[in-house]
Amino acid sequence: QVQLLESGGGVVQAGGSLRLSCVSSGRTFSRDAVAWFRQAPGKEREFVATITRPGNPYYADSVKGRFAISRDNAKKTAYLQMDSLEPEDTAVYYCATRDTILTAPVYTRDNDYYYWGQGTQVTVSS
């Protein structure tokens, strides 16, 4: 069973930055697609960003140009750098992974992912 541990959440003013980390216990992290999702109070969980096994990033339109996803396979860690934060970014952020093949499609739905972290709270004040 793979365990994912997120960290880096907190309270920040609008316009500020945070960097989230997600550490995996999986043996084959380098072969995984990794994604970040978020869930705001009273809303459904939504896709934020994903990075494929070869390292290609994809973003939701709402965060494009402000957020950057990356990975360090040697550390079995994925990151989400969040800049120019807005109050609308307030949510619990979740890391998720699944194993893939090199020619896999880009996965952006939450039910595409097998393993999930417990989440980290991000609060952006206006």
Query: Residue by residue, what is the 3-state secondary structure of 44-112?
Result: CCEEEEEECCCCCEEECCCCCCCEEEEEEHHHCEEEEEECCCCHHHCEEEEEEEEECCCCCCCCCCHHH
- What pLDDT is attached to residue 101? 87
Whole-number pLDDT of residue 102: 81
**90, pLDDT greater than 90:** yes
Give the integer Cα–Cα distance in Å for 46 and 25.
Answer: 24
pLDDT digits (tens, 9 = 90+) for 21-60: 999 999 999 999 999 999 999 999 999 999 999 999 999 9
For position 104, what pLDDT does the model report? 84
How high is the pLDDT of residue 109? 97
According to DSSP, residue 36 is labeled: E
